[in-house]
């Protein structure tokens, strides 16, 4: 038995149940111990100096978060929920890992394999299209990454290498979106107690993650996500129960590691590189790489007019200004990941000169009591950046740009500029499910998100967050927001003060409300109406307040009504457009009355037999009518619940509260 086995298995006891801190298997790697309570292997972690590069399969090898476990980061917790490649070739998700063959490439122009333009064969695209359409039902319209990449593969002729790279970007986007939806719909509600935990959770077929955070180990082990607990090797024996020691599984046996010569390095990393920096660099490179040659980079630099001699003759060198050095395309500099500063002296600055990287020492700076920040200056995104790039949401993750040898500049608080011109100052981290007070009271309102989920929502749909008005024109966006709102509302607590001021709406209530969808001006936007009305927004808020529906409108606490209005507008900005929240009031009153009616129905017909008999009778009657009606036209109408005088739709009591917007 090796010395590592003696150390690791010192407290082995197969007769007791494993805790999250124990190990089904374990391994000693360097000065650290890696254990997992729910997996049968220990993947070799990424550490030390390395370059993030594109590999021969046009992916990123062990740095690809869809292929190999990464270190857990709260900025992207859903990466651990990304599904693994299934062993079954007939699995529905198998197309997300397949590689095309040369025979799948249909040329549309003459040339060699590296220069001819073409597209993927329609038969190959038919394998991916259903997965893309299915997942993009929940993606934003302005930044549907996977949908854009799918359109590029379908419509834009590219070289073979460009097609291969674009295909892997589509697959990576769909896999990440799949993991994101699973995380916020299933795993996060289980972690937070919204959904019950499984009694004996099986190990899920997901990527998993490394972590030294005890809380993450406990949460992931409780729901079955593969997790590897990293601890320093201390003492003469390991204190916890490890059943078996295994050799670390090397990534070279699982993923392609050979570098592709046609791509530059993306990022230089060391043991201090934050995992979120690697993730952001991969996303940015994948979206920026597909481009065509620009004629503007070959334009000569404008020069001043030539000087004229005193004798009135123009010098023979007078036109030399037109022979300025032409700026050629220069290979991009490799960004260096920002390092954590551990001493009082500032880190050296990397200055690129003549395609080489020179390290320039920084001048000494008097240390301050506050923690030293990396010498990065966060760029302020413009309106145009927000339209087509997600970089505005990863200011803290952007790789360091070459700077001159100056003292580190304090990064300003990022400003998010919306498409309508309004700006808001937000914190890089202080945005949560519960919503900071700044987000609750900011104008115009944007939905609140979980602190550990917001960055990925921002990556997938930034334009929707910044320009909620555009959601009115697209059902896909409304469906995404409806999905997120439903989950977020289940976690939201009624923390908004009753005296909070809500936005003043510009749509007054009609004198008579019949069809609520028409009254709200959403006749042609059923998806947005459902997002406002159905279980995704107002009804979810009401369901989180136990038994509130059992009280009639006159019996409701005025502060509760105001809280519901504010919470509804925080989730669905469309509801803020209705003066004094009248649309929310009507949805709330009708929903509560319908629930009370349903309770009465259950009392009379608990097993549903009467309702089934009534339904069958109605269907038979309808069938007879259809036989009589030769035109075959069927009319569908919306059921409207009648409101009695003592319980009006708008709560016509004199004491009815109004939310001052």
Per-residue pLDDT of 429-448, as tens digits, reads 333 332 333 333 333 333 34
Q: State both tokens at 489.
A: 């509302």
> Worst-scoring range by mean pLDDT, 50-54, 476-480, 611-615?
476-480
**What pLDDT, on the 0 to 100 scale, is given for residue 505?**
60
CB 479, CB 527: distance < 8 Å: yes
- Better pLDDT: 94 or 586: 94
> Worst-scoring range by mean pLDDT, 17-31, 264-278, 467-481?
467-481
**What pLDDT, on the 0 to 100 scale, is given for residue 585?**
79
Q: Which residue has the tokens 């030390």?
A: 48
Question: Element (H or E) spanning 430, and its range?
Answer: none
- Under the banding of pLDDT at 50, 70 and 90, the label for residue 384 is very low
**What pLDDT, on the 0 to 100 scale, is given for residue 221?**
96
User: How far apart, in whole angstroms, are the C-alpha atoms of residue 497 and residue 581?
Assistant: 16
Instruction: Work out the average pLDDT over 444-471.
Output: 42
Report pLDDT digits (tens) over 547-567.
556 666 566 667 777 777 777
Q: What are phi and psi of 604, to 5 degrees?
A: -80, -30
* 621 has pLDDT over 50: yes
**What pLDDT, on the 0 to 100 scale, is given for residue 132?**
67
Percent of the chain with pLDDT strictly greater than 70: 55
pTM of the model: 0.49
- Better pLDDT: 510 or 403: 510
**What pLDDT, on the 0 to 100 scale, is given for residue 417?**
32
CB 61, CB 49: distance < 8 Å: no
- Better pLDDT: 37 or 334: 37
Report pLDDT digits (tens) over 335-372.
555 554 444 444 444 434 444 444 444 444 444 444 44
CB atoms within 10 A of CB 145: 24
Q: State both tokens at 523.
A: 């006749």
CB 276, CB 397: distance < 8 Å: yes
Work out the mean pLDDT of the chain and round it to a whole number. 69
Distances in Å between the Cα of 540 and the Cα atoms of 163, 531, 571 are 44, 11, 11
CB 28, CB 233: distance < 8 Å: yes
Question: Element (H or E) spanning 232, and its range?
Answer: strand 227-232
* 172 has pLDDT over 70: yes
**What pLDDT, on the 0 to 100 scale, is given for residue 41?**
96
Distances in Å between the Cα of 303 and the Cα atoms of 294, 309, 323 are 21, 18, 9
Question: Per 3-state DSSP, what percentage of the chain is helix, strand, and coil (rounded to 5)?
Answer: 40, 10, 50
Q: Helices 475-491 and 558-571 sit at what angle, rounded to 10 degrees?
A: 140
Instruction: Work out the average pLDDT over 72-79.
Output: 93
**What pLDDT, on the 0 to 100 scale, is given for residue 553?**
59
Instruction: Work out the average pLDDT over 168-194.
Output: 91
- Under the banding of pLDDT at 50, 70 and 90, the label for residue 426 is very low
**What pLDDT, on the 0 to 100 scale, is given for residue 152?**
83
């Amino acid at each position: 038995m090796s010395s590592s086995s003696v150390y690791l298995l010192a407290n082995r006891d197969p007769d007791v149940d494993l805790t999250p801190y124990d190990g089904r298997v374990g391994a000693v790697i360097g000065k650290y111990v890696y254990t997992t309570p729910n997996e049968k292997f220990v993947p070799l972690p990424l550490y030390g100096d390395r370059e993030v590069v594109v590999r021969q399969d046009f992916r990123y090898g062990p740095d690809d978060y869809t292929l190999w476990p990464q270190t857990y980061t709260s900025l992207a917790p859903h990466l651990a929920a990304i599904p693994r490649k299934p062993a079954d070739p007939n699995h529905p998700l198998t197309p997300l890992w397949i590689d095309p063959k040369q025979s799948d490439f249909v040329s549309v122009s003459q040339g060699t394999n590296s220069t001819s333009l073409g597209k993927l064969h329609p038969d190959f695209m038919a394998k991916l299209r259903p997965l893309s359409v299915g997942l993009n039902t929940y993606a934003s319209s302005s930044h549907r990454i996977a949908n854009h990449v799918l359109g590029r593969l379908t419509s834009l002729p590219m070289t073979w290498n460009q097609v291969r790279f674009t295909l892997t970007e589509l697959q990576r986007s769909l896999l990440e979106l799949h993991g994101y939806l699973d995380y916020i719909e299933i795993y996060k509600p289980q972690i937070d107690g919204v959904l019950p935990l499984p009694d004996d959770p099986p190990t899920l077929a997901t990527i998993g993650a490394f972590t030294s955070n005890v809380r993450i180990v406990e949460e992931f082990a409780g729901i079955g996500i593969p997790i590897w607990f990293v601890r320093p090797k201390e003492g003469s024996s390991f204190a916890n129960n490890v059943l078996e020691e295994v050799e670390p599984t090397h990534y070279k046996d699982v993923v392609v590691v050979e570098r592709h010569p046609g791509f530059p390095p993306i990022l230089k990393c060391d043991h201090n590189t934050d995992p979120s920096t690697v993730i952001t660099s991969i996303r940015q490179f994948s979206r920026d790489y597909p481009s065509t040659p620009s004629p503007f980079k070959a334009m000569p630099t404008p020069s001043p007019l030539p000087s004229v001699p005193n004798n009135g003759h123009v010098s023979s060198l007078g036109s030399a200004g037109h022979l300025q050095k032409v700026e050629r395309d220069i290979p991009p500099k490799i960004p260096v990941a920002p390092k954590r500063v551990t001493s009082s002296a500032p880190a050296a600055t990397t200055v690129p000169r003549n395609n080489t990287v020179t390290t320039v020492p920084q001048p000494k700076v008097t240390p301050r009591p506050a923690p030293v920040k990396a010498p990065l200056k966060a760029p302020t995104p413009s309106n145009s950046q927000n339209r087509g790039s997600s970089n505005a949401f990863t200011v803290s993750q952007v790789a360091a740009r070459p700077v001159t040898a100056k003292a580190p500049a304090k990064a300003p608080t990022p400003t998010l500029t919306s498409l309508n011109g309004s700006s808001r100052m937000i914190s890089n981290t202080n945005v949560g499910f519960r919503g900071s007070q700044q987000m609750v009271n900011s104008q115009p309102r944007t939905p609140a998100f979980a602190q550990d989920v917001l960055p990925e929502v921002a990556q997938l749909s930034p334009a929707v967050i910044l320009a909620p008005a555009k959601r009115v024109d697209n059902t896909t966006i409304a469906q995404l927001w409806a999905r997120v709102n439903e989950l977020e509302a289940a976690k939201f607590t009624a923390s908004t003060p009753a005296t909070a001021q809500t936005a003043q709406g510009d749509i007054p209530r009609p004198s008579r409300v019949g069809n609520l969808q028409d009254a709200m001006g959403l006749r042609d936007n059923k998806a947005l109406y459902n997002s406002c009305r159905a279980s995704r927004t107002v009804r979810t808020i009401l369901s989180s307040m136990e038994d509130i529906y059992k009280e009639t409108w006159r019996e409701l606490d005025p502060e509760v009504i105001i809280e519901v209005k504010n919470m509804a507008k925080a989730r669905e900005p469309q509801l803020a457009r209705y003066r004094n929240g009248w649309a929310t009031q009507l949805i709330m009153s009708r929903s509560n009355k319908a629930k009370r009616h349903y309770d009465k129905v259950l009392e009379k017909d608990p097993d549903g037999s009467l309702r089934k008999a009534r339904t069958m009778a109605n269907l038979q009657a309808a069938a007879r009518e259809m036989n009589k009606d030769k035109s075959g036209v069927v009319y569908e109408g919306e059921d409207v619940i009648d409101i009695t005088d003592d319980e009006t739709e708008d709560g016509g009591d004199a004491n009815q509260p109004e939310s001052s917007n």
